[in-house]
Amino acid sequence: MARPPGGRRRLERQPENQMRSASRLSIRLAWVVLAAALGALPLLAQQNPPRGSGPDAAAAAILRTYQPVSAARLLSPEDANWLMIRRTYDGWGYSPLDQITTSNVTRLRQVWSLPTGVDRVHEAAPIVNGGVMFISTPANQVLALEAATGKVLWRYVRPRPKDVFVLHDTNRGVALFEDKVYYAAAEAVLVALDAKTGKEVWATTVADNQSAYYLTLAPLVAQGKVLVGASGGEFGVRGFVAAYDAKTGKEAWRTYTVPAPGEPGSETWPKGDQWKTGGAPVWVTGNYDPDTNLAFFGTGNGGPWMGDQRPGDNLYVGSTVAFDVATGRIKGHFQYDPNESWDWDEVSPPILVDYRRGDRTVKGLINVARNGFLWFLERSGGPITFVDGTPFVTNDVYLRLDPKTGRPEVDPARKPGTGKTAQFCPSPHGGKNWPPIAFSPKTRMIYIPANNNLCGTLTGVPVRYEKKRSFSGSMSGQPFAAPGGGHVGGEVQAWNVDTGKKVWTHEYAKTPNWGSMLATGGGLVFTGGTNDRKIHAFDAAAGTLLWEAQVGSGIVAPPTTFTVNGRQYLAVHAGWGGDPRGMQNTMNRIFPGEFPPVPEGGSITVFALEN
């Protein structure tokens, strides 16, 4: 995960719940604003908010006609709705809606805005089904809203244990299936809510939070199962993906991303117990191929970070892994960085796109990786194979890729180790962090939230595993700009998937880019991610910036679009903080005084064309 700022030091970070007292007042004030919007100021007087605040009589009208989300609807969602975090199982982040176009996007106006009452980083895509919007936030909150007006239909808050252990206090969204909303609570508990009332239907413990497992990702629903993974890679967890029965919450299977002795892949680990603390966490939602019943998840850093402390390739660290949804069996994998040592979590799942190479069509996987390379892969019912790869930002670690396997040959001077300092590009923040790309079938382009020419320094140090203590075994040094004078910072890049070539680039001035991407049938690309707190609209074909609007805080969460009564809306979930704040501060260390703090505080803002 991205590193916080500061001088050269051992990374002994404390979980965010231990730093929370300083922000309690600002959270309380934000809730005053939200409570006023709800017309429910008495809520603030409650020491422990209820698990579910149900709808009033007026709100119940829209919920009475709520349409359950069937498996068939998830496979083929209506254009009007946004039923999962990337809208479709292939992860495209694309909507066919075309009421808002390149010719009229400048007429977008704010329709409504609502504060969430939380001032930590907000990363959840607004989900919409039949005019009902579902939003999750940090602090274990889920809101159901009338999508066209912002009226609160119900609010769910799950009280946390006093000793909850959460390093990155965020949440990346909910999942819908049948009449339920599925939410991954931070303390490693999976929750099913009644979509009409917000009442808790069932809850099941996914992992031991006191062993530093916690949840941040949106669940993935497929074949009647709810799939989740866990964060905690900095603390020596053993990563996994687990599946639960959507009706009952009973665990169906659990597959670890670090194999035990005797399991396939265990030969890539040293003998001993290091596999028990090997990392490879799963903290971003996977994509799914219904034709093969495979779910593709990405995995994060190893434990410790320095590969020389765990000799071997270390499967399945820094990999894309294909899981059989029926059984949990690993059917295929592709590892980007064997013996990974740069904290390049490759947790973003590849999107499923069939692309052309020469005279053949490849059943493709495309991954824009944190290591700064764009990977074109081929999927099947089992193995994942390499097609080609190319850098999309400066990478000085790879000398070359094996043309058959894609395995990188690494410059040893650019690989940190225990007692060895290395400088390398891209930095641990990555050429692209977790915010997802988008693909437009109209342009045949992918759209990338890139960060270019930002480099970092790491030194490995000896480390011993202790529960809930940092297990990174590293110290961070001074960040720096890549030599050569190129643009440093955030970019939006467009690449044609059939040629493998970049088509256009928009370079932002003096900002990182943490903007999740949305492509639409109206020929537009929407994205936030910049420190000016703006949502931007680009011409998807040409890259021209056509429109932008400022909201209350920076936008990290994926924007989404939907229609209600024939009118197209754009939903933006804002809230800066966490890793984006850390990268902003990192850039301020390179260019002192040029990257001031960004206002924080969560909100949902919805736009539509003016009447």
Active site residues: 343
Q: Strands of 524-527's sheet, edge to edge?
A: 94-95, 517-520, 524-527, 534-539, 545-550
**Nearest to residue 446, comparing CAs of 350, 333, 536, 530?**
350
- Contact indicator for 85, 286 with CB cutoff of 8 Å: no
Per the listing, tokens 């924007």 go with 559
Distance CA 377, CA 77 (A): 26
User: For residue 191, what are the β-bridge partners?
Assistant: 183, 203
Distance CA 456, CA 422 (A): 8
Distance CA 193, CA 136 (A): 12
Residue at 162: amino acid letter: K
| Number of residues that this document lists for the chain | 611
How many contiguous H segments (helices) and E segments (strands) does the chain have?
4, 42
User: Phi and psi of 474, rounded to 5°?
Assistant: -150, 160
Distance CA 147, CA 35 (A): 18
Distance CA 289, CA 206 (A): 24
CB atoms within 10 A of CB 209: 24
Alpha-carbon distances, residue 494 vs 249, 359, 373, 561 (angstroms): 41, 23, 14, 21
CB atoms within 10 A of CB 18: 11
Where b means 16+ CB within 10 Å and e means fewer, 133-165 reads bbbbbbbbbbbbbbbbebbbbbbbbbebeeebb
Q: Which helix (H) or strand (E) holds 287?
A: strand 287-289
Q: Which residues contact 307 (CB under 8 A, 6 or more apart)?
A: 314, 339, 340, 341, 415, 417
Per the structure block, which two tokens stand in for 168?
């990155």
CA angle 215, 216, 221 (to 5 degrees): 85
Per the structure block, which two tokens stand in for 250?
């009973």
Q: Which residues contact 101 (CB under 8 A, 6 or more apart)?
A: 522, 523, 524
In 171-319, which ranges are continuous DSSP H helix?
none
Burial tier of 73 (Cβ tally within 10 Å: 0-12, 13-18, 19+): middle
